[in-house]
A and B are shown apart, each in its own frame.
Chain A
Amino acid sequence: MATDDLIARLARDLKPVPRSSVAKRVAIGLGLGFAASWLLMVWWLGMRPDLMEASATMPFWGKLAYTLLLAVIGAWAVKRIAYPLGSIVINLILMAVALFAFGILAAGIFAMAPPQDHYGMLTGKSIAVCTFNIVLLSMPLLIAAFWVLRGLAPTRLTSAGAAAGIAAGAIGSVIYSFHCTESAMPFVAIWYTLGVLIPGLIGAVAGRFFLRW
């Protein structure tokens, strides 16, 4: 009977599995994706020339903290959805809270600013490219996150794709913040956030097709 042969073959092929191998795969995959996206940013867009001066200012750290927080939530979501019956509800709630809190903060700053600054706070100098650049920078990360999940066992493929996309978009926007010179919180709250959500949407749609196992 073929099943018996298969069982014998699988038993011969057995190797011990270390306990942390899922976390390791997530870390390796997203790490490689990060390296690829970082190189793409440096080669294609270049680091912001005023990085030294900027790193002494609040907006730089605010932007970094916001995108890093989303990146951690996203990477954790990838790990959680990688198990059969895994779910990302907690991660989506945390993300909603983060978006909401940052949105309130940005709205407050916007409201307190003099009206003649309002337009500039929303459009900056790079409105036409910001979200687009983040989405492009997150593509190597999205591929890496899909590779991570294909080796594991997500049973909800749309959620799995969304988790991969959110992680990719958030890590991509961390990387982009080393190029981008925008400092207005309202700008970040809109266009960076979109740069996280759009890859999330792409991932959710692609998940059903590319994450099957």
Chain B
Amino acid sequence: MHSVETRLKELMLASLAGDARSYAVLLNDVAKHLRVYFLRRLAESHKADADDLVQDTLMALHAKRATYEIDRPFTAWLHAIARYKLIDHFRRNKLRITVPLDDAEDLIPVDYSDVAANRMDVESLLQSVPEKSRELIYRTKIEGQSIAEVATSTGLSESAVKVGIHRGIKAIAAKLKGRAHGNG
């Protein structure tokens, strides 16, 4: 997630300085993200418009690139433009707007090359982990608390928390391997 933002932002900064090669790489990357973004949001009957919307958005990115403020996240800026183009498309075609008022994160999915992995039910995986580790993993990896925070709230030492998480993740890995073998 962060690496995508960092990478795109670096390319954008180079582009604003006039580096055409970075710019071409940036536009190629952005076009891929945009395609997925629009395809997800267009009704079955309008999927064919995705390419037009991608090109429209690329041209807007080009024409409006002066409005990118370099101390802001690039993906948020790009998302705002893509969303504007999508809503404009709905308006022009007099379609009911059913786009959720989504966040910028939706534009750059964590890993859309492996959609199956994304759909894997995290909760059910966690069920296979011993309860003590499950709790620790849930707090640190899903709720995003720090090791120190979890240590204070559970009364464990930091190293005990780390060991617990490590054991749990090992258990999950074992389970995933088993699944992969089992399902062929």
A contact set with B: CB distance below 8 Å: 2-3, 6-8, 10-17, 19, 21-22, 25, 82-85, 151-153, 155, 212-213
Contacts and interface: CB of A to CB of B under 8 A. Distances in A.
Contact of B15 (A14, A21, A84, A151): A14
B16 A6 contact: no
Given A16-B16, A16-B18, A84 B66 contact: no
A152 B24 contact: no
B16 A11 contact: no
Given A17-B66, A83-B67, A83-B69, A11 B24 contact: yes
Contact of B28 (A7, A14, A85): A7
Contacts of A155: 80-81, 83-84
Contacts of B16: 16-17
Interface string B15-59: 111111101100110010000000000000000000100110011
Nearest to B85: A213
A17 B20 contact: no
A121 B81 CA distance: 50
Given A3-B58, A7-B58, A22-B67, 13 more contacts: A2-B55, A8-B24, A10-B59, A15-B18, A16-B18, A25-B66, A83-B69, A84-B67, A85-B76, A152-B64, A153-B64, A213-B63, A213-B64
A155 B104 CA distance: 15
Contacts of A13: 62
Which of A3, A13, A19, A25 gathers most chain B CB within 10 Å?
A3
Interface of B: 15-21, 23-24, 27-28, 31, 51, 54-55, 58-60, 62-67, 69-70, 76-77, 80-81, 83-84, 88
Contacts of B76: 85
B59 A6 contact: yes
Nearest to B61: A10
A83 to B, nearest CB: 5
A17 B13 CA distance: 10
A21 B66 contact: yes
Contact of B23 (A6, A14, A83, A85): A14
B77 to A, nearest CB: 6
Given A84-B77, A85-B80, A155-B84, A7 B66 contact: no
A82 B67 contact: yes
A2 B69 CA distance: 29
Given A14-B15, A22-B67, A84 B51 contact: no
11 contacts: A3-B55, A7-B27, A11-B24, A16-B16, A16-B17, A16-B18, A25-B66, A84-B64, A84-B84, A85-B77, A212-B88
Nearest to A12: B20
Contacts of B81: 84, 153, 155
Contacts of B60: 153, 213
A80 to B, nearest CB: 11
Output the residue of A8, A10, A83 with the most chain B CB within 10 A.
Answer: A10
B153 to A, nearest CB: 36
Contacts of B31: 3, 7
Contacts of A153: 60, 64, 67, 81, 84
Nearest to A155: B84
A11 B65 contact: no
A82 to B, nearest CB: 6
Nearest to A15: B18
B24 A7 contact: yes
